[in-house]
Amino acid sequence: MSKQIIASSNQRARQLTAAEIAEIDHELGLYPDKQAVGLEALKIVQKHQGWVSDESLLAIAGYLDLPVAGLEGVATFFNLIYRRPVGRNVMLFCDSVSCWIMGCEGLKAHIKQALDIDFGETSKDGDFTLIPVPCLGDCDRAPVMMVGEDLHRNLTAEKIDKIILDYRKGEGSE
């Protein structure tokens, strides 16, 4: 198989896992061309690896025979494709208008202090990565945030402390 030229990039593609390949192959059957599968493949790899490393990016580009520069364009366009390692749990904290009306500004400061990180950072113990999002679509129960796959509503400072504690204990899911 010929490879896309990745001149003077010293990074090497990693081997995609069998599970990743199976899921990507499934997507390939659903689209008329490979380019369209790029984003799905990024999501699949992120699901398995937690984030998309350079090695993963090159692997997907190689597997789909897409230019790696174009795939990087897709990967970096979407905020929720992580091109840097993230913590065990990703916290998506809504700072959109409804949550702002319901006082998320104060909670922002609280959560930053509780985790001792700023937005865009990962806690020292690697448990949490904190990212702001514009709206989670649950405005009637604002303020809200997502941790991993779970939505947490009607947040208060106390509730946030408990959520953090629960996830640290490994009992996060509601």
Partner 1 sequence: MAKIVIDGVSYEVDPANNLLQECLSQGLDLPYFCWHPCMGSVGACRQCAVKQYRDADDKDGILVMACMTPASDGTIISIEDTQAKSFRADVIESLMISHPHDCPVCEEGGECHLQDMTQMSGHNYRRYDKKKVTHRNQYLGPFINHEMNRCIACYRCVRYYNDYAGGTDLSAQASHHHVYFGRQADGVLESEFSGNLVEVCPTGVFTDKGFSENYTRKWDLQSAPSVCVGCAVGCNTTPGERYGSLRRLVNRYNSEINGYFLCDRGRFGFDFVNSEQRLTEPVRIVNGESQTLAAAELSQTLTEFSSGGAIGIGSPRASNESNFMLRCLVGEKNFYAGCADTEHEALQTIIEFAADPSFHCPSISEIEQADAVVILGEDVTNTAPRLALALRQSVRNKALSLAEDSHIASWQDAAVRELAQQQRSPLCVLSSYATRLDDVASDTIIEAPGVLTAIGFGIANKLSDKAPAADARSVGAYAEVIEAVAEQLMAAKRPLIIAGTSAGKTDLIHAAANIARALKEKHGSEKVDLCLLVPEVNSMGLTMMVNKENTLGRALKKLSSGAVSHAVVLENDLYRRADSGVVDAALERLENLMVLDLLETATTAKASVVLPTTAFSEHEATYVNYEGRAQLSFQVHMNHGAAKPAWRWLNGEQECDVETMVNRCSSEARGFDKLGQLLPDPAQFVAGMKIPRQSQRYSGRTAIKANLDVHEPKQPVDSESVMAFSMEGIPAQKDAAFMASAWAPRWNSNQSISKFQEEVNGKLKQGHIGTQLIEKLANGGAYLPPASPSTEVVDGSLEVVLAHQIFGSDELSARSDSIQQRMTDPYIGISPTDAQAQGVQHGDMVSLDGIEVPVVACIRSKMPEGVVAIYCGDGDINPHSLPATVSIGSSESPVGERGIRGLIVSDLLEDY
CB of 83 to partner 1, least distance (A): 10
Least separation in angstroms between residue 164's CB and partner 1 is 30
Count Cβ atoms within 10 A of the Cβ of residue 112 and give its class: 0-12 exposed, 13-18 middle, 19 or more buried: middle
Complex with partner 1: residue 13 or 155, whichever CB lies closer: 13
d(CA 132, CA 109): 12
Minimum Å gap between C-beta 152 and partner 1 is 27
Is residue 85 reached through a cis peptide bond, with omega within 30 degrees of 0 on the bond before it? no
User: Which positions lie near partner 1, rule CB under 8 A?
Assistant: 1-9, 11, 33, 54, 57, 62, 67-73, 76-77
H or E, element range at 133: strand 128-133
Nearer of residues 85 and 126 to partner 1, judged by Cβ = 85
Nearer to partner 1, 58 or 107 (CB): 58
Name the residue type at position 55: E
Please report how close the Cβ of residue 62 comes to partner 1 at its closest, in angstroms.
8
In angstroms, the CA 75 to CA 89 distance is 20
Q: Considering the complex, state which of residue 6 and residue 157 has its C-beta at the smaller distance from partner 1.
A: 6
The closest of 133, 154, 152 to 143, measured between CA atoms, is 154
